[in-house]
């Protein structure tokens, strides 16, 4: 006679006790994306690795694409921590920006993730636009903050494209130190406050008599 109590049925949705966090799901997904690639990684496989119901992944991330975007955002945030980059001597900010980008892209795991198609490129674009550009605008402040931040992100985007995504021989052959040496002056110029335009200055002189 079997006196053993039946095993409790597994409930769907958020588990009881100490539920897994978004970070634990992202960590499990990152390992699978690195091992199998984007196309061969399924939501069910991630759920099994994270020991959650697949519905919890849909709840937090919406889809596999959304989950992959979070993995990329997490990877970017770990290497290119905007608070750390912006903190410190303002004169050395161009150097810190270049170092953050090259440190991120020289990481073998990150390079493997970026090779997984348009989903990776889209996630990187979103990070540069929503995180780095937005935070730079707030950090710089003033009437020309958006123009200055846009110039900075454009330079960094060009570095990413020509050195990593679609490498040109010359930029790709540079060491990170050489890259910093070459691009720091351009970033310093991009970060500098813009002078007021001659049009705005001349507007106040309209109607002045023309010298004879």
Q: In this predicted model, what pLDDT tens digit does every residue of 74-113 receive, in sequence order?
A: 877 766 678 888 888 989 999 999 998 898 888 888 888 8
* 212, pLDDT greater than 50: no
Q: Rounded to an integer, what distance in angstroms lies between the CA atom of residue 43 and that of residue 67?
A: 9
Q: In this predicted model, what pLDDT tens digit does every residue of 146-160 receive, in sequence order?
A: 999 999 999 999 998
The pLDDT value recorded for residue 197 is: 64
What are phi and psi for residue 62, nearest 5 degrees? 85, -45
With contact defined as beta carbons under 8 Å apart, do 69 and 126 qualify?
Answer: yes
* Residue of 26, 161, 25, 152 whose CA lies nearest to 85: 152
Mean pLDDT, the chain, integer: 81
């Amino acid at each position: 006679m079997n006196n053993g109590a039946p095993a409790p049925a597994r409930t769907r949705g958020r588990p009881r006790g100490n539920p897994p966090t978004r970070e634990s799901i992202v960590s499990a997904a990152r390992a699978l994306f690195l091992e199998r690639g984007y196309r061969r990684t399924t939501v069910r496989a991630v759920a099994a690795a994270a020991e959650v119901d697949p519905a919890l992944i849909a709840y937090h991330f919406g889809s596999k694409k959304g989950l992959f975007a979070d993995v990329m955002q997490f990877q970017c945030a770990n290497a290119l921590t905007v608070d750390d980059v912006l903190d410190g001597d303002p004169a050395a900010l161009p150097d810190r920006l270049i170092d953050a980008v090259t440190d991120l892209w020289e990481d073998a795991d990150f390079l493997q993730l970026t090779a997984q198609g348009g989903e990776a490129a889209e996630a990187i674009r979103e990070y540069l636009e929503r995180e780095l550009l937005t935070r730079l605008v707030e950090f710089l402040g003033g009437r020309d903050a958006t123009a200055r931040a846009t110039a900075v992100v454009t330079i960094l985007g060009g570095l990413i494209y020509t050195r990593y995504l679609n490498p040109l021989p010359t930029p790709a052959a540079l060491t990170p130190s050489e890259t910093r040496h070459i691009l720091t002056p351009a970033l310093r110029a991009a970060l500098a406050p813009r002078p007021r335009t001659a049009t705005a200055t001349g507007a106040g002189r309209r109607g002045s008599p023309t010298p004879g």
